[in-house]
Structure 1
Amino acid sequence: MQLGVKHRVVAIGLVAAWVVLLGVTAWRHGLVAQADMAIIFIVPLLFAGLVLGRTGIWATMASYLPILALGTWVDAKSAAGGLAMDQALSTVAQPTLASLIVALILDRLASKMERGKRLNRDLAAICARLEDEIREHQRSHMQLVHSQRVDALGRLASSVAHDFSNLLAVILGYVHHVERVAGDNSELRGFLDDMKRVTRRGQELNSKLLTLARSDELDIETFDAGEVVERLQPLLQRMFAPGVVLQMERATGAAPVRLDRAGFEAVLLNMAKNADDALGGSGEFRLRTQVAGDEVCVLVEDTGRGMSAETAARAFEPFFSTKPRGQGTGIGLATAYRVVTEAGGRIDIESAPGEGTRFKITLPVVHG
């Protein structure tokens, strides 16, 4: 039985009061007058054993020794006593042996209870570890499935992107040729400007496809994540609406990581752009770097509209987007996931409707 400190003090007080009462009774009447009341010595032991445990049992038993000695002395002094030695010993032995037997039984039971509690605690700890391992296994499995899906889509995107790039180059070449012969035809030049704008938009999309496919060469380098975040601050301030409060916090000391620097910057800018869309012109955007042991953590948070658990679970899927048609490609977070995981890191997302979104990018610290 688990007790708080206050309850334990109360229990000790009750046992002590009963023991004092036994002592007073032994002093006034001796043991002979209580020869048929051995139960009064057993009750405190039972209470102490059930409430206070083994320590309480033997502390109570030890307190009986002076009480029994006092009762024996009172009986010996009693004028009406005239007790024979064997009768005096019998009078003392009866409560002593009864109490000792009960104390041994209670001690045995309390010992088993304590052992059972230890086993329960050990079992609970083992179950907790198993649950953690199962969750970690499930998370690793989901990451593996996601990576395989991204790889397959990446290969498809690579073949499509290269062909698409060639087509866009041909279209843009014809646009430039027509511009040279268009003369002063303002209407035609307006059409050509629109064509160039749409073509460049296609080239940007194509560039994202190539990034997802990882067909380009990466420039892997070691740099300070906090320094990159700090240098992005002016660009982020121009990105958000005036009603958005931007909070930046750089880690104390260096936060060295090793990956594609341009890709890392693109990850943060993409998340900031998504946050700007979710904020709708007002709210807070926070970007922080922290160093915890052998990990660098980059926290990207906003107080926007958030997303449901179902949407958050699909956030890193290639080509998945909740934005209106034509406004989102669904490539940004998939690319971010790939950039981070290829550097040996991970991205976790926490979000709920109306409570904003929190991305946690974790990367290994580079030593030396």
Structure 2
Amino acid sequence: MTELPDEGRVPSIHTLQGLSDRMLEGVLLYDAGSRLLYANPSAHKLCKACYPRELASGLTLEQLLPRDALSGARSGGRWSGHLSFGQDAILMVHVYFDEAEHGHFLVVMQDLRQIRVYEQDLLRQHAELNVRLTAAQEKLLQSEKLASIGQLAAGVAHEINNPIGYVHSNLGSLQEYLHSLFALIEAYERALRSSDPRASIPEIDQTRERLDIDFISRDLPQLMTESREGIERVTRIVRDLKDFSRSERDESWKLVDIHAGLESTLNIIWNELKYNTTLEKHYGTLPPVECLPSELNQVFMNILINAGQSIGERGTIRVSTGHEGDHVWVEIADSGPGIPPEFQQRIFDPFFTTKPVGKGTGLGLSISYGIVAKHHGRIDVDSRLGDGSRFRIVLPVRQPRAAAAAG
């Protein structure tokens, strides 16, 4: 309860009058006999626009207010209502009655058009803030995506360089094989041009043996298969990187295979996991899920990388999926040390991290939580010290708005 100022600090009548003169609301003070004692400039303006008789002419409470307003204010201490003067003017009026010192009425009025203008201005500002907030969230999400790829850059480069390396080596071998095959073809051509082709058979056999054509015929198909697989590996990584780094404005809600998203994510981060992780997959049968694929892939990546970093020198990550009713779930469990109980309530807070400085932004799980919430899903966490952690992502098969529109 706010206490009145000490005696000597009570605002003077002139101070109160000066403040009310600056108010947009109309303020009128009447005595118990309905005699006007004071009206601020806003009250004069409102009454002049709405009443045929100006305040200066002695507008009484009975002329100003409905008949039940005075009795209601006297009995209950206050009255509120609307006064309509056609479509162009509607006043919201509050009347307060104080019985002390013979009684006084305080009337506060406001033009509803001003309120509507103020509300429209608030709505406009709110819409602008929403647009700016959405843009900021999108930039943050995109920055976190690129930061994640930046942290994985060395591993991704290795995953690309490895197949490119053996494709390059295979091309060198292929060049040598072509020289040998061309040499054998030349030997056959000389035999065909000779007067006695049969006499050239020993030379051809020697050429085949010297160039080891039998080995080339066995190795060449395998070499081509390896090279094709290497190029396909690079193509998958580049495609997955492109899909992962796609911004929200470039993507729309679509029905996708969650397993394909998991495999795509694992393809990008595998170099980060393969040296210390045994990966187990237990995939169930899932229907196509309506989602923003690249955003969900970021959720998978954030949780998988956290799992890989938590297990230390060697451990296991188990990725499981399932379908229950109108929802699907993706579970990522690790054999790490677990999350301390005092941290479990904070792991989704922005910038909270238990990693050393420079090892994490503290935004990965926070952004993941926001993405899953955007998909009308949830993330359940079960972690015990010494027994690892389990993150279960639960998602609706169809988004509620889409389901309502279809129904």
How does the TM-score come out when normalised to structure 1? 0.41
* Higher RCO, Cα 8 Å, sep 6+: 1
Higher strand content, 1 or 2: 2
Higher helix content, 1 or 2: 1
